[in-house]
Structure 1
Amino acid sequence: MKRLIRSLSAVAFSVFIAIPDSGLAADGKTTEDDNTYVTVSTSHGDFTLMLYDETPLHRDNFIRLCNDGTYEGVLFHRVIKDFLIQGGDPKSKEQQAGVAYGDGDGGYCVYSEILPEKFCKQGALIDAKLGDDVNPTRMSAGTQFCVVQGRKFTDEELDKTEVRLNEWNKNYLYHISRYELMLEDPSLSDPANGDTLNAKARERAASRYAEQGAITISPERRTIYKTVGGTPHLDGSVTVFGELVDGQDVVEKITLMATDDADRPKEDVIILSTKVWKK
C-alpha cells in the first residue's frame, strides 16, 4: 500500500473509553438523531461529515481539532482521482507554492480503532498513517484525515482485490508478530538476532493466518462497491471513523483537479473553517 503520509510521530495519544449511545429510548423506539456532524468549508465548496460513536478516540480527536481552529487555513495537500482527498497537515498553512506537504501530524498519533463493520465505501472518513513495516500497530497521524472518493468495481476486480487483501494481511501479521516478539523478548531487537526474530515472526504470522482464514468481501459489501464505489483495498487496514453525508459533488470536484507530481492540486484547496454541530 502506498503510504498515506510521509512521516508519523511516535508520541502516544492518551487512552479513554467512550460507550456509544444505543440510539433507543426506554420503550425501545428510536431516539432523535444524536450523531455529531462536521461541516468543512473549503475554497472550493462545503461538505458535511457524520462522525461514528463506535470510534470514540478518533471522533473526539477530530472534534477537538475542528473546535480549536487547527484546520483553518490548511490544505488538502494530496488529491488523487478515483481514490481520495487528504488534508490536515498543520505545516500546509504556510501554503508555499511547490512544497510537497504531508509530513506534519501535530506531533502525536491516535491508537487504531479498526472495526470489521466499517469499510471504505465512497464518502468514508478515514485516517492517514504510515505502512505496517514502520507502523505495525496502525496508529493514525494526529491531525491528518482523508475522505474517500474511490470508484465502482466489477466482480472480477473485487476478486483480485481479495487476493491483494490477503497478501497484505499476511504482511501485516508478519510485522505485528515481529513487534510483539521484540516486546516479549528485548534481546530479539539486537541485529545479531535478526534471523531468529524473522523466523519466529514468520512462524507466528503463518499460524495466525491459518487460524483466521482467508479474507473475503461479503456479497453485501460487493454490492456497495459495485453500485456506489469506494476503495476496497484499504478495508481492514485503516480506521474508518465517519462518513460523508452532504457535499459529494464538492469532494468529486476536488478529486478532478489538476495536480503536480506530489499529488498536490495546482490550485490550492484551502480549509476555511470547520463547524461541529448536532441536529
Structure 2
Amino acid sequence: MRSLRNLLFIALCASSFACAAKKDYVVTIETSHGDIVALLFDDTPEHKSNFIKLAEDGRFDSTEFQRVIKDFMIQGGDVFTKEDMPAQEWPTLPAEIRPNHYHRKGVIAAARQGDGINPERRSSGSQFYIVLGKVYDELELTTDMAKLQKAFMKYMELVSEADLKKEYTRLYNEQKYDSLTSLILSKRDELENSLNLNLRKDFTAEQIATYTTVGGTPHLDKEYTVFGEVIRGIEVAEEISKLPTQRDRPIEPVFMKVTVDKKSRKKIEKEYDYSYTDVK
C-alpha cells in the first residue's frame, strides 16, 4: 500500500512539474503610445504559429495600425504591402473559427476578404485586429435588428398604429436615432406575438454576460477567426482608436514592433494575473 502511495505521489509531482515547466509565447506589440501584451490560443494553431513566425522574423516591424475605429477595433500588421508583394500572391490561412472564442473586448482576430470572393472565410496571412467594441443592453444584443426593423415598418402601416407611425416620424425628423432604436426595440415582444415571428439572436449565457458588461463586437461572431487576447495594455489600443483619422487611417502613423518571448505558463499567470484554466 505504501509503495502505491509513493507511486501516486511521484506521478502527481511529475504532473505538477510538467505543468509548471510548460511554456507559452508572450507577444508584445510596441507602439509610440505604449505596449500591448497578448497571448495566442492553442486551439487556433495555424494562426498562432503563423503570427509567431512573422514576429520572430521581424516582418511585423514597421507595419502600422492602418485602420482604427473608435468603439470598434484597431487593425494592423499589413506585412505584404510593406514588402511590396503583389496582392494576388498574398498568402492566406484556413479559417479556425471556434464557438468558444467570440468577439469580446480585448481579443485578437484575423482580418480577411469578404464572403463574396472568400466563401471559405480564409484569414489574411498577416493582418489582425484588436477588438474594442461597446457594452450592449441585453434587449438590443439578443434582438435581430434587421428582422425587427422590417417587421416594425410593416406593423406601423396598420391603421390602428397611426400614433406609432407619427411618433416614429417625429423622432426620425429630429434625428433622435437612439430614441428611435429604443422605440423599435420596445415593440419586439408585441411584434413577435402579433406576427408570429422569431426576432431573437442566440447567445450563450456567458456571451450575454460578457457583452453586457465587458463589451465587444458580437456581429462579427462566427465570421472571423479569433486567435488570441490582450492580457495587458488594452488601454493603449483604446487610445490608438481615438486618434484623428482620415478615412479611418491615423493622420499620424502608428508603427509597431512585435516581439515574442517564451515563458513558463506559471510565470505568465503570476506576472500578468492570468489564468489558463479560464480560457474556454
Judge conservation of contact 2:64–2:76 (CA < 8 Å) in 1: yes
Indicate the residue corresponding to 1:50 in structure 2: 39
Q: Which of 218, 223, 226 is the matching residue for 1:240?
A: 226
Number of equivalenced pairs: 198
Indicate the residue corresponding to 1:82 in structure 2: 71
User: How far 1:258 moved relative to its partner?
Assistant: 1.1
User: How far 1:272 moved relative to its partner?
Assistant: 2.9
Q: Percent identity?
A: 40
Amino acid in the other structure paired with 2:236:
V
Indicate the residue corresponding to 1:31 in structure 2: 19
Indicate the residue corresponding to 2:102 in structure 1: 119
Q: Structure 2: how far apart are the matches of 1:26 and 1:118?
A: 33
Amino acid in the other structure paired with 1:156:
L
1:270 equivalent to 2:255? Answer: yes
Q: Which of 82, 87, 107 is the matching residue for 2:90?
A: 107
**Structure with higher helix content:** 2
Distance 1:163 1:36, change over 3 A: farther
User: How far 1:277 moved relative to its partner?
Assistant: 2.8
Q: Which of 124, 135, 139 is the matching residue for 1:152?
A: 135
Q: Structure 2: how far apart are the matches of 1:258 and 1:267?
A: 8
Indicate the residue corresponding to 1:192 in structure 2: none
Indicate the residue corresponding to 1:69 in structure 2: 58
User: How far 1:248 moved relative to its partner?
Assistant: 0.9
Judge conservation of contact 2:131–2:217 (CA < 8 Å) in 1: yes
User: How far 1:273 moved relative to its partner?
Assistant: 3.8
Amino acid in the other structure paired with 1:272:
K
Indicate the residue corresponding to 1:142 in structure 2: 125
Indicate the residue corresponding to 2:165 in structure 1: none
Q: Structure 2: how far apart are the matches of 1:62 and 1:250?
A: 20
Distance 1:252 1:136, change over 3 A: same
1:41 equivalent to 2:27? Answer: no
Q: Which of 217, 220, 230 is the matching residue for 2:216?
A: 230
Judge conservation of contact 2:144–2:201 (CA < 8 Å) in 1: no
Q: Structure 1: how far apart are the matches of 2:102 and 2:255?
A: 27
Calculate the aligned-residue CA RMSD, in Å. Answer: 2.6
- Length-normalised TM-score, structure 1: 0.65
Amino acid in the other structure paired with 1:275:
V
User: What residue ranges of structure 1 are gaps of 5+ in the alignment?
Assistant: 1-24, 95-102, 165-213
Indicate the residue corresponding to 1:253 in structure 2: 239
Q: Structure 1: how far apart are the matches of 2:24 and 2:207?
A: 23
1:206-226 Cα shifts (integer Å, max 9, x gaps) = xxxxxxxx9611122111011
Amino acid in the other structure paired with 1:249:
E
- Length-normalised TM-score, structure 2: 0.65
Larger Rg: 2
Distance 1:26 1:161, change over 3 A: farther
Q: Structure 2: how far apart are the matches of 1:87 and 1:276?
A: 21
Judge conservation of contact 1:105–1:141 (CA < 8 Å) in 2: no
2:143 partner SS: helix
